[in-house]
Amino acid sequence: MPRSTWTAGRRGALLGASAAVVCATLTACGDTGGDSYAAVGPPRPSATAARPTGSVTLVPLDAPTPSSAVSKSPDGEGTSASTPAAPSPAGAKSGRSSAHSPSPTSTAASTRAPSTPAALSWGAPARKATAHRWCEDVTLAFRNSGGTAVRSGTVTFGTHIIGALGIDWATIESTERLPVPIAAGARKDHTWTVCVDAWRVPLGMHIETRDVSVRWQ
């Protein structure tokens, strides 16, 4: 049997009445025969909200650009307004120059000195006896110091017939072709076998090719 607590005065009467109501409510809920419960008092707070465990970085949103600014039309709807690009000082033309710049190859070609003609020189003939007294091997060394190659030409030999006592009896000429081409700045050696008629060189006589003249193009 519940114990009654009395409080003197009017305040005690109100508290007693409230306690009686609460007891009646609990008795009524418990008599339903089931496992029913009545919640009395304020509800319990919900489960603790999950908090982030890592670091949080706040990133500000990009401000709208002038080209994407939104203006409102008279009927209240938003419209997108784009800002036209400002014209350049050259009348909206491209700033890239259209003038043709000379290439390094053309510049080098324009500054290159013009080619000079061929300039052929040669040394004294180098002679070597053969098995026949009326023939000998003659070697010439050519050098082209010009700026153009030698592409054609001839060489003329002057062969002297020398007697047994060293007397120069005659000079016989013969012509051969140059060993072309001889490039500009190049050096080239060549050997010819120079002969005269055998009857011109009797026994005891010999030949000496001493004279050389050259023509070239």
Q: What is the pLDDT of residues 67-101, one digit of tens each?
A: 444 444 445 445 444 445 555 544 474 445 455 55
Residue 137: which pLDDT band, with cuts at 50, 70 and 90? very high
Per-residue pLDDT, 27? 43
Say if residue 183's pLDDT is above 80: yes
Token pair, residue 114, equals 């013009």
Report the pLDDT value the prediction gives residue 72, as an integer from 0 to 100.
47
Domains for the chain: give ranges and CATH numbers: 120-216 (2.60.40)
> What residues contact residue 10 under an 8 Å CB cut-off, 6+ apart?
none
Task: Choose among 147, 170, 144, 143: nearest CA to 159.
Answer: 170
Cα 119 versus chain centre, distance: 43
CA 8 to chain centre: 105
Q: Residues of the chain with pLDDT > 70: what percent?
A: 48
Whole-angstrom distance, CA of residue 57 vs CA of residue 194: 103
Give the burial class of 136: count Cβ atoms within 10 A of its Cβ; 0-12 exposed, 13-18 middle, 19 or more buried.
Answer: buried
- To the nearest 10°, report the CA torsion of 28, 30, 33, 38: 100
Higher pLDDT, 208 or 54: 208
Give 181's contacts (C-beta < 8 A, 6+ positions apart). 149, 150, 151
**Residue 161 burial class via C-beta count within 10 angstroms: exposed 0-12, middle 13-18, buried 19 and up:** buried
Between CA 108 and CA 202 the distance in angstroms is 64
Tokens 């490039």 found at: 183
CA separation, residue 135 to residues 109, 116, 132, 181, 209 (Å): 51, 38, 6, 27, 10
Q: What is the DSSP letter of 90?
A: T
How far is it, in rounded angstroms, from Cα 153 to Cα 178? 5
Note the pLDDT of residue 29: 42
Mean of per-residue pLDDT scores for the chain: 72
Please state the pTM of the whole predicted model: 0.49
**Residue 28's pLDDT band (cuts 50, 70, 90):** very low
Query: Model confidence over 168-182: pLDDT tens digits?
Result: 999 999 999 999 999
C-alpha–C-alpha distance, residues 45 and 132, integer Å: 136
Rounded-to-integer distance, Cα 169 and Cα 171, Å? 7
**So what's the pLDDT on residue 150?**
96
If one compares 201 and 62, the residue with the highest pLDDT of the two is 201
**How many residues does this entry show for the chain?**
217
